[in-house]
Structure 1
C-alpha cells in the first residue's frame, strides 16, 4: 500500500492526515501553530508543530513513526522560504516532498481541482483560484500589517482599534468592555501595549474575534458593522481573483475558523450574489486538499 501525508500548518494550529493512494484517510493528528516566522523560536516551533501532527496521524493509523511516505505535501501560511522547507524536510520522510503556501491546498480541498476560488478566513486571509486553462491566481495573504482583511486577527484588531477610538473620546464601549474582560485588563489601552512588547501573541489576539462575532449575534451594533465589513472584505478578495481568472460568474468556497460565523458568511454571500457569484460549500477541508496534492486521491474521506 502506498502511503501519503497532507499537512496544513496554520497560525493557530497544525493538522496532518495520512492516507492511501485511493484517498482514504487512515489517521489524523494535530500540533501547535506553524507560523510566526518573525518571532523568536520560529523554526523550532515549525519543526515541533509538523512533527507532532504527523506523528499523531501515524499513531492514529497504527503506523510506525519512521514510515516513509510515497508523497507528502505540507501547506504553510506565509511565504515559503528555503529555511522553512529545510525544517519541514528534517521531520517529514517522503520520496516526494512538496512544501507550499496554504492557499492552493485550501482550493484543492474545496474544488478537487475544478475551476473556482477558495478564500481562507482564519487567523489571516487570502484567496486562491484556478480556471479551466490551469491559470492560477492568489490575492491577499500579505500578513497582519499589510493585509489579512476580514480575518480573525483583523476582526479582533479592528474591534480593539474602535474601542480605543471610543476611549480617546472619553466614552465606554461594548467592544472595549468585552476586550478588557477577555484579556483580563482594566483598560483597552493595555492591550496594544502588551502586543507591542510581545506579551500577547498574534494568535492569542485573534482569539478575541469569536467574542466580537458573538456580540454581533447578540445585536451589538458596532460588532455587527465590523463583522459585516469583514464579510465584504473577504468577498472582495474572491471577486478580484475571479476577475483575474476570467470566471465572471464562478463559484467561491470559504474555509477557516472565521468562516464559521453565520453573520460573516451572510455578508460575504450577499456581496458575491450581487455580482452573480455563488458561495458554495467546500468538498473537503484544506488538510485533505494537502493530501490530494501529495498524490493521495480517490473516493475516500472527502470531509
Structure 2
C-alpha cells in the first residue's frame, strides 16, 4: 500500500460549525475545510462523525491532496493531528469522542502519528494566548474558566451546565432575575424594577404568568440567557436588586478564576487573561468588577484584548509537538 505524507492537521469542532486547517511546521496553511457542528451531545455521534469527516475532506481537497471528494489508493500519514472538540467535559465524553475521531480518520485513511484531542474551550484558550500560559474566562449563555501554566498543566473550573452550574453566566443572571421577581410577588423582597423590564420582554402580564412560563415548553436556556441584558438595563436605572445579581455573578466568575490560578500556580510570572462571552463583552459593570478583582488578587495577570480563533491554538499545539518530536530524533 502506498503512503502519502500530508501536512499537520488541526480541527476546531464547535457547537455550530467545524473548521479544519492543514499546515506545515512553520504554520503556513496549505488547506482549509468547513462543515457543521461535530458536538455529539448536540447532533448525535453519527452526525458528528459525518461533519468531522466533511471538514477534513474539504481541507484535503482545498490543499489539492484529494480531488473530487474521492480518496485514492493508499494511506495518508500526518505527524500530528490536534483537535479541539465541543462536548468533551468528562472522561465518559472523552471515550466517546476518541472513538468517533478514530472512526473519522480511519474512514479517510489518515493515520496520525500523534493525536491530540481537547475540549473546544481549551482550544479557545490556546488560540487566544498563542499556546502560551494564561487564563480564559468565558461568560456567555454558560460559563467556564480554563487555565494553563508554563509546565503545560491544565485546569478548569465551572462549566457544569445550567442545571447545576454555569454561575455568573447569562442564563444564571436571567434565572436569578426570575427568582427575584417571584420573591417580590411573595413579599420576601422589596419592590424593584426587574419585573418592569422582564415581563414585557417575555409578553407576560404578571409574576404568575412568569411562573407558568417558566414551567412551560416556551422556557429555554437561550431565552433565559437573554434576560441578562434586561438585568443590566435595570441596574443602569439604579435598581439595587439588579446590581446585587450582577455583583454576585462577577464574584462567582472570579471564584472560578482564582480556583484555576491556585491549582496551576499562576502566581509568580506574568500571564494573559482573556475575557470572552456576551456577559463580559456587553456588561461593563461585570467586566470591570472582574477586572478589578484580578488586579487585586492576581497582579501578574494582564487583561488581553487581541484574540485569535481557537483553530490557531490547536495549530500551536500540533507545531509544538512536531518540533519536540524532531528535536528528540
TM range (shorter): 0.7 to 0.9
2:280 maps to 1:256: no
For the structure 1 residues 246 and 48, does the alpha-carbon distance in structure 2 shift closer, same or farther, using more than 3 Å as the test?
Answer: closer
1:48-127 mapped onto 2 (5 Å cutoff): 54=55, 71-77=81-87, 78-79=89-90, 80-86=93-99, 95-96=111-112, 98-127=116-145
Task: State whether residues 18 and 52 of structure 2, in contact with CA within 8 Å, keep that contact through their aligned partners in structure 1.
Answer: no
For the structure 1 residues 133 and 289, does the alpha-carbon distance in structure 2 shift closer, same or farther, using more than 3 Å as the test?
Answer: closer
Q: Secondary structure of 1:144's partner?
A: coil
| Structure 1: unaligned runs, 5 residues or longer | 298-303
Q: Secondary structure of 2:275's partner?
A: strand
For the structure 1 residues 135 and 84, does the alpha-carbon distance in structure 2 shift closer, same or farther, using more than 3 Å as the test?
Answer: closer
2:215 maps to 1:202: no
- Supply the distance in 2 between the matched residues of 1:111 and 1:220 (Cα, whole angstroms): 37
Is the radius of gyration larger for structure 1 or structure 2? 2
More displaced stretch, 130-139 vs 165-174:
165-174
2:291 maps to 1:269: yes
Partner of 1:20: 23
Task: State whether residues 30 and 54 of structure 1, in contact with CA within 8 Å, keep that contact through their aligned partners in structure 2.
Answer: yes
- Supply the distance in 2 between the matched residues of 1:157 and 1:48 (Cα, whole angstroms): 35
Structure 1 residue 221, shift from structure 2 partner:
3.4
Structure 1 residue 169, shift from structure 2 partner:
1.9
Q: TM-score, normalised by structure 2?
A: 0.69
1:1-303 mapped onto 2 (5 Å cutoff): 2=7, 4-10=9-15, 13-14=16-17, 16=19, 18=21, 20-21=23-24, 22-23=26-27, 31=36, 34=39, 37=41, 42-43=43-44, 47=48, 54=55, 71-77=81-87, 78-79=89-90, 80-86=93-99, 95-96=111-112, 98-169=116-187, 173-191=192-210, 193-248=212-267, 250-251=270-271, 252-261=273-282, 262-277=284-299, 278-281=301-304, 283-293=307-317, 295=319
Partner of 1:300: none
For the structure 1 residues 286 and 203, does the alpha-carbon distance in structure 2 shift closer, same or farther, using more than 3 Å as the test?
Answer: farther
For the structure 1 residues 221 and 134, does the alpha-carbon distance in structure 2 shift closer, same or farther, using more than 3 Å as the test?
Answer: same
Structural RMSD (CA): 4.0
Structure 1 residue 266, shift from structure 2 partner:
0.4
For the structure 1 residues 220 and 207, does the alpha-carbon distance in structure 2 shift closer, same or farther, using more than 3 Å as the test?
Answer: same
- Supply the distance in 2 between the matched residues of 1:180 and 1:48 (Cα, whole angstroms): 42
- Supply the distance in 1 between the matched residues of 2:181 and 2:246 (Cα, whole angstroms): 15
For the structure 1 residues 168 and 30, does the alpha-carbon distance in structure 2 shift closer, same or farther, using more than 3 Å as the test?
Answer: farther
Structure 1 residue 268, shift from structure 2 partner:
0.2
Partner of 1:301: none
Q: Which has the higher contact order (CA 8 A, sep 6+)?
A: 1
| Structure 2: unaligned runs, 5 residues or longer | 1-5, 322-329
- Supply the distance in 1 between the matched residues of 2:151 and 2:218 (Cα, whole angstroms): 47
